[in-house]
Structure 1
Amino acid sequence: MDDIGINRVLGEMRALQQRSQLPAAQPVAEPAKESGFVDALRDAVRGVNDKQVDAARAAEDFQLGRGNLVETMLKSQESGIAFRAAVEARNRAVSAYQTIMNMPL
């Protein structure tokens, strides 16, 4: 997977995070710091984890009679989509790594 594909997946994950109205990993008011691949990966994994935790809370609230079915289902679907996107990004990164490692010198 090339940089364009990885950037596209990360962009889609950020767009999902913004649409879900969850707090961003970094406040918008702060100037954007230059970060590396590790920071981007950490933020992406935290974003997926936050969506899963939020979906679990919504499901628990619904089971206790405090939640809304529509909101619970939306959060569950957002969590699933974010997880599948992260797994796909991981699979493509592993595939790219294997391709590079199998190249003759």
Structure 2
Amino acid sequence: MSQGIEFNRLMLEMRSMQTEAMARAKPAASEPAAVGAPSFADMLGQAVGKVNETQQASSQLSNAFEMGKSGVDITDVMIASQKASVSFQAMTQVRNKLVQAYQDIMQMPV
């Protein structure tokens, strides 16, 4: 049950980060960037870190189940595995969109 709660919390965090990113007005060229505001690179790095943590947690839970540790249920292992898979697929899609946007920009006539 706690795995479902963690997934919901992760989804809420991602949605709030999206809302924050969309709510910020683009600063004018003459205005400096807001102090303390996370950059896109920082936000992307945090997202990659969370995906990595999810995959490591899934791996640890799987290893614990394989070793026969008590208190580790197959349903928890499968849920953790699916969370890791979904988060990795989402990160892959974000990467694909970024690459496509970069390619579109590079193909623009000057």
TM-score normalised to structure 1 length: 0.70
Report which of the two structures shows the higher radius of gyration computed on alpha carbons.
Answer: 2
Higher relative contact order (CA 8 A, sep 6+): 1
Q: Equivalent pairs: percent with the same residue? A: 32
Match of 1:81 in 2: 86
The structural deviation recorded for 1:48 is 0.3
Match of 2:49 in 1: 46
Match of 2:95 among 90, 94, 103: 90
Match of 1:3 in 2: none
The structural deviation recorded for 1:87 is 0.4
* Structure 2: gaps spanning 5 or more residues: 1-5, 12-35
TM-score normalised to structure 2 length: 0.67
Q: Deviations over 1:27-74 (max 9, x none)?
A: xxxxxx520111101100000000000000010011011221000000
Aligned residues: 79
CA RMSD of aligned residues (A): 1.9
* Structure 1: gaps spanning 5 or more residues: 1-14, 21-32
List structure 1 segments (4+ residues) > 3 angstroms apart after TM superposition.
none
The structure-2 alpha-carbon separation of the partners of 1:17 and 1:35, relative to structure 1 and needing over 3 Å to count, comes to: farther
